[in-house]
Amino acid sequence: MKLKNTLVMSGAALALTAIFAGCGTNEAPATVPAVMTEPAAPAATEPAATTEPEAESGISRAVADSITDGMTKDEVQALIGLTPSSTTESEFMGTTTEMVQWLDGLHNSITVMFTNGEASSVTFMDLTTMAAIREALTTEHFEQLSNGMTVDEVRNVMGVAPTSETSMDIAGTEMATLMWVADDGRGITVTFMNGEASSITQIGL
């Protein structure tokens, strides 16, 4: 019995000795090498979709500037995208002229003069300019105009640039037309032959 206890104690002593012996060594404990992982490739991104800017339409300076000489009425109509507010057509010595005006609710306007079906002049009017046109369209100004006046003299009487101006040579005669037309339908038209007023008409004054 005594021998058995001795053996048990001896076994325990051996175990403790082994433990302390291991703690006393200078050897570093074995380490498991870290597993290297490849960095994840960045996710592919689709380029942002681009859209073509839509062509501007309506009554604006940009639209008026895009109307060029030689365009037909249908081409101008498609560009503006609105129904004309007024159309005035005349014919003289085989030449047909047509003045077409587009207005919006903000008193902006585009006026295009067509000569024999092709655009020959374009005028854009904004609210400020249209207000000046309305003020210039008076019976007093109309009565001051007379045949024989030059273009500059007529301009000085009206005091504001016309809403449309066209000129052409017809069989050796220089023809010109100046028109002041307001958004309320009133207007003054002066026709010139070889630089002198030959016809003066008004509407709505």
In the 3-class helix/strand/coil scheme, how is 147-184 assigned residue by residue?
CCCCHHHHHHHHCCCCCEEEEEEECCEEEEEEEEECCC
Q: How crowded is residue 202: how many other Cβ atoms within 10 Å of its Cβ?
A: 18
Q: Which pLDDT does position 148 carry in this prediction?
A: 97
Statement: residue 96 has pLDDT above 90: no
Q: Return the pLDDT at 186.
A: 93
CA–CA gap between residue 20 and residue 26 (Å, rounded)? 13
Question: How far apart (Å, rounded) are the C-alpha atoms in residues 179 and 202?
Answer: 10
* Confidence class for position 43, pLDDT limits 50, 70, 90: low
Q: Residues 172-189: what's their mean pLDDT?
A: 89
Domains and CATH numbers, the chain: 61-203 (3.30.1450.10)
What is the distance in angstroms between the CA of the first residue and the CA of the last residue of the chain? 143
* Mean pLDDT of the residues in the chain: 78
CB–CB of 122/79 below 8 Å?
no
Specify the pLDDT at position 15.
41
